[in-house]
Amino acid sequence: MAADGGGGMTEEVAVLGAGMHPWGKWGRSFVEYGAVAARAALADAGLEWRDIGSIVGADTVRGGYPGYVAGATFAKALGWQGARVTSVYAACASGAQAVNTARAQILSGLADVVLVVGADAAPKGFFRPAGGDRPDDPDWLRFRVLGATNPAYFGLYARRRMAVHGDTPEDFAQVKVKNAALGALNPYARYRKTVTAEEVAASAVVADPLRLLDICATSDGGAALVLAGMEFARRHRAADPVRIRAVSTVTPRYPNTVLDLPDIATDSAVAVRPAADTFRESIARAAYEEAGIGPQELSFAEVYDLSTALELQWYEDLGLCDEGEAAKLLREGTTTLGGRIPVNASGGLASFGEAVPAQAIAQICELTWQLRGAAGDRQIAGARVGIAANQGLFGHGSAVIAVR
Amino acid sequence: MPRTRTPVVAGWFAGDGDDFRLLGTRCSACASVFFPREDAHCRNPACPGGALEEAPLSRRGRVWSYTDSRYRPPSPYVTDPELPWEPYTLIAVELAAERLVVLGQAVPGVTVADLAVGMEVEVVPGVLHEDAETIWTTWQWRPTGVAA
């Protein structure tokens, strides 16, 4: 196995079902959102919950104990039926790690068909660390010492792009305009209204240079997938299912020289030369290597637009364009519906807000619907290969490649 | 009774005036520098691990990026909810000798309009907040007047 976590190409797993609970601020328990999404995914797969041999839950840190054992929490809500249970947490990549856990069970022969569920109920305002005095916790320290919220980090990245690549606040606003127009076409999105560049410019600055409409909200939502081995899929008469070809969940490599949440400083590069590619680039590269395809073969991408500026960063990290060329790609219309490589046809986090453990699963739901040709008004013509990418706190990130 | 001056985190900085420094650690085997300080074991995966010795960081660096907090951060950041919120500036600073980037608040009065990527700044002692018994001290970044 390579030092980057890649081990060459793996077998595929089939996506038999995808389901979501609409994103919003519904004021109910994450369990309810997850159960609704799970039942929708099972119905989509044409399977009964009793047919499922394994359930993997993506945990939430905001639901108390039931959130830390999400797999069991969802299994109980659906009705105990004896399935193998797993619960995983990996910050924003929790959903992707849940998918990867299910995939590993299928490919190792531990399970034929696995239900993956993630859901969250988000508080109003900024995410904040767990309570109590915990001076050994970097997430607690960044708030205590600096008051550095997530949007503060997004602001730092955005300003850096402006200085290094010449991006402008107008470029950032155009990401929101694009994603809002696409989200308006998605019945699962929380925000379903088009937004103008003037409206972005008129919204309040949160963390200079980013404004309220540049930054994704925190949302309630739930998403679920039914995954199976190719042999099970054939027996189940799913002749041409969407297949997951790669799941990358690599960690950074020392020294990690890009300031990451929730850190107060980067690693030092004084003794060890940094790798040629950054952490985000390495996440994508590991997925490309595992899938045996390159960025030029993608039909579309779903990326983690925690801010408008971060969406542009992903264009470069995924290899959709050269470094510094992302704003040009956006301005040319390459990344919108009808362009060569639409990005966030779902509307992205700009239209959903972030429901942490559900978000990476929701990205794969979108890949599935697009690859089936079932995405309605936001359908990408001829979608054959899609990538979903994300990054979160504490060295987590993921990239998933699906094909049909 | 005079209030005590207490660092918001013990061991991260020390000194007064021109002697004020951020305190990291340096691995005696591979020379990697760590801030916040790493006292247990070197995190360079290629290093067998040497003794970690306290290492004051460079006083001056260049602005890597900057932003501000226009809204009141949540607890455990300490603010007085009775007072109107006053935004402050955050600066990420690249230290050339240590080859790392350290985040910190700017000294009061410095806004994003005063800053540019590449501008030189220096670390100075500052006050994070005060209560009845304690003045909580921290580090802050202050432009030296040397442009990008």
Has residue B50 been placed in a domain?
no
For residue B72, the enclosing domain spans 59-148
**ipTM above threshold 0.90:** yes
Check CB contact of A79 with chain B, cutoff 8 Å.
Answer: no
Chain A residues lying within 8 Å of B118, measured CB to CB: 163
* Residue A40 banded pLDDT, cuts 50, 70, 90: very high
pLDDT value of residue A128 = 82
Which residue has better confidence, A317 or A63?
A317
Has residue B24 been placed in a domain?
no
Q: Give the Å distances, CA to CA, from A365 to A29, A119, A346, A386.
A: 22, 14, 10, 11
The strand ranges marked E within A268-323 are 300-303
How far, in Å, CA of A233 to CA of A365, rounded? 18
DSSP states along A356-369: HHHHHHHHHHHHHH
Which of residues 240 through 279 in chain A touch B, CB cutoff 8 A?
254-255, 257, 259, 264-272
| Nearest Cα to Cα of residue A104 among A220, A227, A224 | A227
B103 with A264: Cβ contact below 8 A: yes
Q: Give the Å distances, CA to CA, from A119 to A71, A204, B53, B66.
A: 11, 29, 45, 34
Q: What type of residue sits at position A252? A: P
- High-pLDDT (> 70) share of chain A, %: 98
Has residue B104 been placed in a domain?
yes
Residues 6+ positions from A145 with CB-CB distance below 8 Å: A264, B8, B9, B128, B138
Check residue A33 and report its DSSP letter: H
Q: Which residue has the tokens 């607690």?
A: A140
Q: Is B136 helix (H, G, I), strand (E, B) or coil?
A: strand
Has residue B102 been placed in a domain?
yes
Residue in B closest to A150 by C-alpha: B73
- All residue ranges of chain B with pLDDT < 50 are none
How far, in Å, CA of A375 to CA of B123, rounded? 53
How far, in Å, CA of B131 to CA of B92, rounded? 28
How far, in Å, CA of A140 to CA of B138, rounded? 16
CB B27 within 8 A of CB B50: yes
B65 with A149: Cβ contact below 8 A: no
Check residue A49 and report its DSSP letter: G
Which of residues 207 through 226 in chain A touch B, CB cutoff 8 A?
207-210
Q: Is A121 helix (H, G, I), strand (E, B) or coil?
A: coil
Over residues B27-54, the pLDDT tens digits come to 999 999 999 999 999 999 999 999 999 9
- For chain B, the straight-line distance linking the first and the last C-alpha, in angstroms and rounded, comes to 46
Which of residues 23 through 82 in chain B touch A, CB cutoff 8 A?
27, 30-36, 43-47, 64-71, 73-78
Task: Look at chain B and report how many structural domains it folds into.
Answer: 1
Chain B residues lying within 8 Å of A259, measured CB to CB: 64, 92, 101, 103
Residue in B closest to A3 by C-alpha: B45
Instruction: Outline where B1-148 has alpha helix (H).
Output: none
**Which CATH number does A13-125+219-235 carry?**
3.40.47.10
Check residue B58 and report its DSSP letter: P
Over residues A79-134, the pLDDT tens digits come to 999 999 999 999 999 999 999 999 999 999 999 999 999 999 998 878 888 878 88
> What is the mean predicted confidence (pLDDT) over A29-45?
98
Q: Give the Å distances, CA to CA, from B116 to A81, A147, B95.
A: 60, 21, 16
A270 with B99: Cβ contact below 8 A: yes
| A134-138, A281-285, A362-366: segment of lowest average pLDDT | A134-138
B64 with A259: Cβ contact below 8 A: yes
Q: Give the Å distances, CA to CA, from A163 to A252, B63, B112.
A: 25, 11, 13
pLDDT at A5 over 80: no
Has residue B64 been placed in a domain?
yes
Has residue B108 been placed in a domain?
yes
CB A212 within 8 A of CB A347: no
CA A238 to centroid of chain Cα atoms: 26
pLDDT value of residue A71 = 98
* Residue A2 banded pLDDT, cuts 50, 70, 90: very low
Has residue B6 been placed in a domain?
no
Which of residues 142 through 181 in chain A touch B, CB cutoff 8 A?
142-149, 152, 155-160, 163-164
Chain A residues lying within 8 Å of B76, measured CB to CB: 129, 133, 140, 143-144
Has residue B38 been placed in a domain?
no
Check residue A190 and report its DSSP letter: S
Check residue A102 and report its DSSP letter: H
CB B21 within 8 A of CB B15: yes
pLDDT value of residue A129 = 86
How far, in Å, CA of A265 to CA of B37, rounded? 10
pLDDT value of residue A127 = 82
Chain B residues lying within 8 Å of A147, measured CB to CB: 69, 73, 77, 88, 105
pLDDT at A1 over 50: no
B73 with A141: Cβ contact below 8 A: no
* Residue A4 banded pLDDT, cuts 50, 70, 90: very low
For chain A, give every domain's residue range: 13-125+219-235
Beta-bridge partner residues of A303: A389
B112 with A272: Cβ contact below 8 A: no
If one counts every other C-beta atom within 10 angstroms of the C-beta of residue A201, the result is 13
